[in-house]
Amino acid sequence: MKRRLALLRCLLSLLLASIALATGAQQVAPATGADRAARFDAVFERVVGPSSMDSSFVDYDANLERLRVLLPPGDKARDVQFRSVYCSSERWKDSAKGLAYATDALARAQAAGDIASQGRAIFCRVDFLSVLKGGKQALEEAGRMVALLQNSEERQLFAEALSLRGSLLSDMGEQAKALLDFQRARASYREAGIEHEIDALMMLTAVAYRRMGDWAQAERYFTHAINRMEEQRDWERVVTYNIQLGYLYDEAGDPNKAEAPLREALAVARSHQDDASIASVQIAMATVLIDQKQFDAAFDLLAQAQSFAQTREDHWNADVLALLSGQALAGTGEHQAALAHYRVAQPLIERDGNERYLATLFRARSASEEALGETTAALADYKRYSDLQSSLQGKMRFQQNRLLEYEYEIRRRDFENRRLRAEAASRLQQVKALQSIRHWQRLALLLGALLVALLVWLALRQWRKSGTLRTLAMTDSLTGIASRRAIEAGLDHELGLAAASGQPLSVLMLDLDHFKAINDLHGHAAGDRILREASAIWKRLLRGQDQLGRIGGEEFLILCPDTNREQAQMVATRLLEATRAHGLADIDPALTLTVSIGIAQFEPGDTREALLARADAALYRAKDRGRNRVES
Length of the chain: 632
What confidence category does residue 149 fall into, taking pLDDT thresholds of 50, 70 and 90? very high
Q: Where is average pLDDT lowest: 100-104, 113-117, 341-345, 392-396? A: 392-396
Residue 85 maps to which CATH number?
A: 1.25.40.10
DSSP 8-state secondary structure symbol assigned to residue 512: E
- Boundary of a domain, candidates 212, 236, 270: 212
13, 305, 414, 543 from 417: Cα distances, Å: 29, 48, 5, 17
Q: Which amino acid is at 98?
A: G
User: Are the CB atoms for 546 and 482 separated by under 8 Å?
Assistant: no
Query: Residue 487: which of 539, 433, 525 has the closest Cα?
Result: 539
- Boundary of a domain, candidates 212, 238, 261: 212
> Does residue 322 sit within a domain?
no
Q: In this structure, are 618 and 510 located in the same domain?
A: yes
In the chain, the N- to C-terminal Cα span, in Å, equals: 41
> Does residue 424 sit within a domain?
no
Region 100-129: what's the mean pLDDT? 94
Residue 503 maps to which CATH number?
A: 3.30.70.270
User: Tell me, what's the pLDDT at 589?
Assistant: 81
DSSP 8-state secondary structure symbol assigned to residue 28: S
Domain count, the chain: 3
Q: Is the pLDDT of residue 30 over 60?
A: no
Q: What SS3 string covers 406-441? A: HHHHHHHHHHHHHHHHHHHHHHHHHHHHHHHHCCCC
d(CA 473, CA 19): 66
Tens-place pLDDT, residues 301-325: 999 988 888 887 667 788 889 999 9
Which of 229-243, 382-396, 528-542, 581-595 ranks highest by mean pLDDT? 528-542
Question: Residue 306, Cα to own-chain centre: how many angstroms?
Answer: 32
Q: Which amino acid is at 37?
A: A
In 3-state terms, what secondary structure has residue 625?
coil
User: Tell me, what's the pLDDT at 456?
Assistant: 81
User: Are the CB atoms for 301 and 289 separated by under 8 Å?
Assistant: yes
Q: Where is average pLDDT lowest: 248-257, 412-421, 540-549? A: 412-421
> Does residue 397 sit within a domain?
no
In 3-state terms, what secondary structure has residue 546?
coil
User: Are the CB atoms for 167 and 211 separated by under 8 Å?
Assistant: no
Diameter over CA atoms, the chain: 104
Tens-place pLDDT, residues 249-305: 888 888 899 889 999 989 998 998 888 889 999 999 999 999 899 999 988 999 998
User: Tell me, what's the pLDDT at 2?
Assistant: 37
In 3-state terms, what secondary structure has residue 549?
strand
d(CA 627, CA 513): 7
Query: Residue 487: which of 542, 572, 562, 552 has the closest Cα?
Result: 552
> Does residue 456 sit within a domain?
yes
> Does residue 404 sit within a domain?
no
Q: In this structure, are 65 and 141 located in the same domain?
A: yes
Q: In this structure, are 504 and 448 located in the same domain?
A: no
Q: In this structure, are 87 and 137 located in the same domain?
A: yes
Q: In this structure, are 465 and 512 located in the same domain?
A: no
Query: CA 415, 475, 410: angle at the middle one, nearest 5?
Result: 20
Q: In this structure, are 452 and 518 located in the same domain?
A: no
Q: In this structure, are 453 and 511 located in the same domain?
A: no
Region 384-399: what's the mean pLDDT? 73
Q: List the domain range (segments joined by +) for residue 100.
A: 1-212
In 3-state terms, what secondary structure has residue 374?
coil
What confidence category does residue 613 fall into, taking pLDDT thresholds of 50, 70 and 90? very high
Q: DSSP assignment of 323-336, as one string?
A: HHHHHHHHHTT-HH
Q: Where is average pLDDT lowest: 235-244, 414-423, 571-580? A: 414-423
Q: Where is average pLDDT lowest: 280-294, 374-388, 454-468, 522-536? A: 454-468
In 3-state terms, what secondary structure has residue 631?
strand
User: Are the CB atoms for 155 and 188 separated by under 8 Å?
Assistant: yes
User: Are the CB atoms for 233 and 242 separated by under 8 Å?
Assistant: no
**Bridge partners, residue 592, by sequence:** 583
Q: Phi/psi at 601 (nearest 5 deg)?
A: -105, 140
Question: Residue 277, Cα to own-chain centre: how many angstroms?
Answer: 24
Query: Residue 206: which of 234, 175, 237 has the closest Cα?
Result: 175
Q: Which amino acid is at 544?
A: G
pLDDT > 70: percent of the chain: 87
d(CA 599, CA 607): 16
Q: Is the pLDDT of residue 31 over 60?
A: no
User: Are the CB atoms for 155 and 49 separated by under 8 Å?
Assistant: no
β-pair type (555-561, 547-552): antiparallel
User: Tell me, what's the pLDDT at 564?
Assistant: 94
User: Tell me, what's the pLDDT at 462?
Assistant: 75
Q: In this structure, are 99 and 33 located in the same domain?
A: yes
Q: Is the pLDDT of residue 410 over 60?
A: no
> Does residue 181 sit within a domain?
yes
- Boundary of a domain, candidates 191, 212, 233: 212
User: Tell me, what's the pLDDT at 285?
Assistant: 92
User: Are the CB atoms for 208 and 399 separated by under 8 Å?
Assistant: no
d(CA 300, CA 290): 12
Q: Is the pLDDT of residue 21 over 60?
A: no
**Bridge partners, residue 559, by sequence:** 507, 547
Question: Residue 149, Cα to own-chain centre: how many angstroms?
Answer: 20
Query: CA 65, 68, 70: angle at the middle one, nearest 5?
Result: 110
Q: In this structure, are 125 and 164 located in the same domain?
A: yes
User: Tell me, what's the pLDDT at 624?
Assistant: 94
Q: In this structure, are 557 and 620 located in the same domain?
A: yes
> Does residue 516 sit within a domain?
yes
DSSP 8-state secondary structure symbol assigned to residue 153: S
Q: Which amino acid is at 4?
A: R
Q: In this structure, are 552 and 582 located in the same domain?
A: yes
Contacts of 627 (CB under 8 A, 6+ apart): 513, 514, 594, 596
Question: Mean pLDDT, the chain, as a whole number?
Answer: 84
User: Tell me, what's the pLDDT at 71?
Assistant: 92
Q: In this structure, are 465 and 590 located in the same domain?
A: no
CB atoms near residue 610 (< 10 Å): 13
Q: Is the pLDDT of residue 336 over 90?
A: yes
> Does residue 344 sit within a domain?
no
Q: Where is average pLDDT lowest: 23-27, 91-95, 175-179? A: 23-27
Burial class (CB in 10 A: 0-12, 13-18, 19+), 89: buried
Which of 135-144, 243-252, 344-353, 617-626 ranks highest by mean pLDDT? 617-626
